Amino acid sequence: MFSVLHGGSALPLGLSLAFALLLGVVHGITPDEHTWPITFSYAVGSYSVRGGLVVGAVFALAFTLQRAVLSELAYLGLSRVLASPSVNNPVYVAVGVAMAIAGYVALRRGREHAAGDAPRPFVSPGMAAVHGLVAGFGVGAYALVLYTVLAPSMPGPALGFLPGLLFGIGTLLVQAPAGALFGYYMRRLQLPERSIQSIAARSAGETLLYGGFAFALVGIVGILWPQAVAWSLPTHIAIPNLSSINVGLILVVFVVLGIGFSSVFFGIRRERALLVRS
């Protein structure tokens, strides 16, 4: 299917829209640097099924709105500009700065909570929405198909936004349940409520803060030295985001596994040690 689309073969309207939805679902499942690190961070910080579902949905809805607008612009003739890979590096910087700010706020509120101050949410749906709007500007294999094939194939300007809308809804169908799952994991920790809150604040804060630094650093390097971040090693898996090992995939692994899960793991050990001492 991807080869047919890249070859320029047009699909009937119904199939184009169905493919846009399917493309969004696959995008939500595969390790994308503009979805999983953000959903994980906010969902862990919410430390509840409902909270994780809300932040995952808010992030994906903002992403959906942004993709629908860009899909319409692509139909109107801006596909070449929107699909330019050079957009990625400034987006990395913008996403990184937003992540770092949110991480700082989460860590500060965690310290306030530990000091006995009135608890406030460690992460907010509003920041998740900002992330969704900013992250939607990232360009990858999915965006290329959306902007250069699906959006321009719409029969008129009144429908130009539909591929982006359905693509975003497909992503939402994965990212919202994923946020709920991460929140559920935090609730299942066999620890007192205050310990869970401490782990949530610190893990969300560290993932967002240090992950944000990583995103911004990659973006700055890419702006100054594009060749340093443009490499890829093929994996021969015919699925975007899995077809090669590249900077984007490394960012996902580093932020979610290297920072996120390790922060949760060491947070659990730390809280259990404190409970034993007390």
123 token code pair = 């992460």
Structural domain boundaries enclosing 243: 2-277
pLDDT tens-digit map of 245-272 = 999 889 999 999 899 999 999 999 999 9
pLDDT at 140 exceeding the cut of 50: yes
Higher-confidence position of 17 and 140: 17
Range with the poorest average pLDDT among 9-13, 31-35, 50-54, 149-153: 9-13
pTM (predicted TM-score):
0.85
pLDDT tens-digit map of 167-224 = 999 999 999 999 999 999 888 888 888 888 889 989 999 999 999 999 999 999 999 9
Higher-confidence position of 87 and 117: 87
First to last CA, the chain: 60
Closest Cα to residue 128, out of 136, 120, 140? 136
**How far is the C-alpha of 71 from the C-alpha of 21, rounded, in Å?**
13
Share of the chain above pLDDT 70, in %: 95
- Region 47-64: mean pLDDT is 92
pLDDT tens-digit map of 265-274 = 999 999 999 8
Phi-psi region of 138 (alpha: psi -120 to 50; beta: other; left: phi over 0): beta
141 token code pair = 């294999």
For the chain, the domain total comes to: 1
Predicted pLDDT at 61? 95
